Structure 1
Amino acid sequence: MYSLLLFLHSLGRWAVLGGLLYGIGRAYQGWVGGKAFSAHDNATRHTVATLAHVQLVLGYALYFTSPLLKTFRFRDAMHDPGTLFFGFQHVAAMTVAVVVLTIGSALAKRQPTSPTQFRTMALWFTAALLLIFLAIPWPFSPLANRPYFRFPF
């Protein structure tokens, strides 16, 4: 179960990043280009937020079934960057990132004009992307490095 969750969460990372980059691209093109906020843009906004929520739920499931959490003590983790990262920093930053993305999605949906919809989506989604980039355990990260893909075997 744990290895399957780890695989799905690893795979979901790329779906979220790809969707978020696509959504940000559409938002900036629409904002700068003065385009109308179309049904496709709205579907993109909604899909990106949904992907992020699914990824967050997978992450929570992984977090609460992780062997790390059973032995995690914040006081002890302060001396181990990897334990601190997965025990606290990763889950906290990703939760905040998804909250930021959700707020941006909801605000963009409720804006009265296309330029403000695109601007809202672009700015909030970009802020969420920056938080996500900081909290991903990249292979080159000094905090906790993991491979680009985790396989269940």
Structure 2
Amino acid sequence: MYAFILALHSLIRWFVLVSLLFALYRAYTGWLGNKTYSKLDNRARIIAATVAHIQLVVGLWLYFISPVVSYFLSHFKEGVQNRQIRFFGMEHITMMLIGITLITIASAKAKRKTTDQEKFKTLAIWLTIALLVILSSIPWSFSPLISRPLFRPF
């Protein structure tokens, strides 16, 4: 089951990134182009937040069944000193929780804004920060610090 959840988590990462990039594209083009906030913009906001929250649930599930995290929690002193174990036991989950919190704040704040420009600007700023946090905490295959495959087989 662990391998399946890990592969699912890896796959959903791409949906999170694509939905965030699309929502950001809509936010920046709407804000800088002085456009009207449309149903498509609202759907992009909702989909980005929803996919991020689905990833959060799968990620938390993975966190609690992961042998790496289990080792980290039961051997904390040794785990903190090992880069890969510390990354998955502490750093990755912390940064991703921050990223998803920022996405949630972006969605909630934008929904409450009264003008179209305020909605676009709020989404653009908050989602950009969230995306940067998330991108910095994904274990990319090309990362010299912590590396994992871009796609995991089921």
TM-score band by shorter chain is: over 0.9
In the alignment, what sits opposite 1:46? 46
TM-score, normalization: structure 2? 0.96
In 1, Cα distance between equivalents of 2:40 and 2:136: 29
Deviation, structure 1 residue 142 = 2.6
In the alignment, what sits opposite 2:15? 15
In the alignment, what sits opposite 2:64? 64
Q: Deviations over 1:30-72 (max 9, x none)?
A: 0000001111101110010000000011000001010112221
Deviation, structure 1 residue 150 = 0.8
For residues 4-153 of structure 1, what are the structure 2 equivalents within 5 Å? Answer: 4-72=4-72, 73-152=75-154
In 2, Cα distance between equivalents of 1:25 and 1:74: 41
TM-score, normalization: structure 1? 0.96
Deviation, structure 1 residue 78 = 2.6
Q: Structure 2 stretches of 5 or more lacking a match? A: none
Deviation, structure 1 residue 143 = 2.6
Letter in 2 for 1:54: I
Moved more, 18-27 or 137-146: 137-146
Asked if 2 retains the 8 angstrom alpha-carbon contact of 1:139 and 1:148, the reply is yes
Identical aligned residues as a percent: 47
**Which ranges of 4 or more aligned residues in structure 1 deviate by more than 3 Å?**
none
Equivalent pairs, count: 152
Q: Deviations over 1:96-124 (max 9, x none)?
A: 10001100110001101000000000000
In 2, Cα distance between equivalents of 1:25 and 1:68: 36
